A = this chain, B = another copy of it.
Amino acid sequence: MSEKIDNLLHELEKMPGIGPKSAQRIAYWILNTDSANKLADTIKTVKSDVRFCKKCFNYATDDLCEICSNPSRNHKIICVVCEPRNIPPIERTCVFNGIYHVLGGEISPIDGVGPEDLNIAELMNRLVDVDEVVIATNPNVEGETTAAYLARMIKPLGIKITRPASGIPVGGDLEFADEVTLGRALEDRKEI
């Protein structure tokens, strides 16, 4: 194919989850549709206008993100997450009304990421007049390590530290739960 289309395929294949076949399908869609210029413009706008919130490091179009600048949120509860992409799923639950802090990664010695590479100092600076820190890092090795590190740092301040419960997914099946999850669910059993 022409060099310009090859360039497009090459750029499209860099997108996550897009292999050569999908890239080709999308390239032909781009060639055919009037929407493609709008897509390119939207990418440009986002790249130029979206930055990090100065307070919580979520994505924002102003100095503060929409959550940090919302006075109806409870600013005394901070939920710590690894990445901005962890925030929308929590927001969709409609259960959490506090604000967030994005670490920008998780502690992972194997990838050379230590506590000093994350927004932890910035988190510590925010812990004035705060009632609770919810550490919502992923329930895997790196996430648990990060949570343990944060807990050790925050504990001396006398602030309540919590972590979302692990257990069997709602609508899930006991039979198909892995033993670690099921074990955790039994340990954390609740009286009804």
Contacts and interface: CB of A to CB of B under 8 A. Distances in A.
A88 B49 CA distance: 38
Interface string A121-139: 0000000000000000000
A25 B89 CA distance: 13
A72 to B, nearest CB: 17
A62 to B, nearest CB: 9
A17 B24 contact: no
Q: Chain copies in the assembly? A: 2
A35 interface: yes
A2 B44 contact: no
Contacts of A117: none
Contact of A25 (B14, B17, B41): B17
Contacts of A40: 39-41, 43-44, 47
Contacts of A185: none
A30 B5 contact: no
A31 interface: yes
A38 interface: yes
A49 to B, nearest CB: 6
A148 interface: no
B8 A42 contact: yes
Interface string A1-38: 11111011001101111100010111111110101111
Contacts of A27: 46
A26 B30 contact: no
7 contacts: A5-B50, A11-B39, A12-B39, A16-B29, A30-B46, A40-B43, A40-B47
Given A11-B35, A40-B40, A43-B43, 17 more contacts: A1-B88, A2-B50, A2-B59, A2-B60, A3-B61, A4-B46, A7-B45, A8-B46, A11-B42, A15-B26, A16-B26, A24-B85, A28-B84, A30-B47, A36-B47, A37-B43, A37-B47
